[in-house]
Amino acid sequence: MFDKLGAVTPLQWGLAALVVLLFFAFSARCILDAWNRDFGSSGEKAAWIQVIIFIPILGALAYLLIGKNRGEQS
């Protein structure tokens, strides 16, 4: 299973690391945005943050499409 890892070039490792970093930054930005918004209840804020954390990319996309409009900037 791991015998083919030697065939991965440094450029491919770098690109994979860049993609992972971009996904992490996207999720972190959504978490910070949810943290700074005022939702109807603190439970809704906690729920959105948990969705973003436990379903990284899809949760962040769902937050941007649905959750961001539900909260007001504080």
Q: What is the DSSP string of 18-40?
A: HHHHHHHHHHHHHHHHHHHEE-S
The contacts of residue 7 (CB under 8 Å, 6+ apart) are none
Q: Which domain holds residue 63?
A: 27-74
18 assigned to some structural domain: no
Q: What is the pLDDT of residue 2?
A: 74
Across all residues in the chain, what is the average pLDDT? 92
Q: What is the pLDDT of residue 32?
A: 96
For residue 74, pLDDT over 80 is answered with no
Number of domains present in the structure of the chain: 1
55 assigned to some structural domain: yes
- Lowest mean pLDDT segment, chosen from 5-14, 23-32, 44-53, 55-64: 5-14
For residue 1, pLDDT over 70 is answered with no
CB-count burial class (<10 Å; 0-12, 13-18, 19+) for 53: middle
* Phi/psi at 33 (5° precision): -65, -45
For residue 63, pLDDT over 90 is answered with yes
